[in-house]
Amino acid sequence: MPLLRGWVEVNGTCLAPAEVDRILDQCPERICSFGGEFYLSKGDLTARDHFGILPGDCPPGTIMRKKDIIGYVAPDPPEMELEAAIAEAVRLRSGEGVTALSGGVDSALVAVLAGLPCIAVGTEGSHDIGRALHVAETTGLSVSCKTISESDVLEGLSAVVPVIPFRDPVNTSIAVTMYCITRFARELGHSRILAGQGADELFGGYARYLTSPDLEADLEKDFSGLRFQADRDQAVAALQDTYISMPYLDLRVVRASRKIAAHEKVVGSVRKKPLRSVAEHHIPAEIAWYDKKAMQYGSGVWRVIQGLARHNGYKRSVQGYINQFCEHDHDITKGC
Cβ–Cβ under 8 Å, residues 50 and 60: yes
Residue ranges with strand state E in the chain: 3-10, 13-15, 35-42, 45-48, 62-65, 68-72, 98-100, 118-122, 143-147, 192-194, 243-245
Q: What is the pLDDT of residues 106-164, one digit of tens each?
A: 999 999 999 999 999 999 999 999 999 999 999 999 999 999 999 999 999 999 999 99
Q: What is the pLDDT of residues 11-70, one digit of tens each?
A: 999 999 999 999 998 988 999 999 999 999 999 999 999 999 999 999 999 999 988 999
How many Cα atoms sit within 13 Å of 65 on the Cβ side? Answer: 6
Domains of the chain: 3-72 (no CATH), 83-298 (3.40.50.620)
Alpha helices in 289-329 (DSSP H): 295-298, 301-311, 318-323
Residue 128 buriedness (CB in 10 A; 0-12 / 13-18 / 19+): buried
Cβ–Cβ under 8 Å, residues 42 and 8: no
Please state, in angstroms and rounded to a whole number, the distance separating the CA atoms of residues 94 and 192.
9
Cβ–Cβ under 8 Å, residues 282 and 113: yes
Which of 18-27, 240-249, 317-326 tops mean pLDDT? Answer: 240-249
Residue 175 buriedness (CB in 10 A; 0-12 / 13-18 / 19+): buried
Residue 211 buriedness (CB in 10 A; 0-12 / 13-18 / 19+): exposed
Decide if pLDDT at 279 tops 60: yes
Which of helix, strand or coil describes residue 13? strand
Q: Go through the chain and tell me how many residues it has.
A: 336
Which of helix, strand or coil describes residue 306? helix
How many Cα atoms sit within 13 Å of 205 on the Cβ side? Answer: 24
DSSP 8-state secondary structure symbol assigned to residue 245 = E
* CB within 8 Å of 36: residues ≥ 6 apart: 6, 7, 8, 9, 14, 49, 92
181 pLDDT tier (thresholds 50, 70, 90): very high
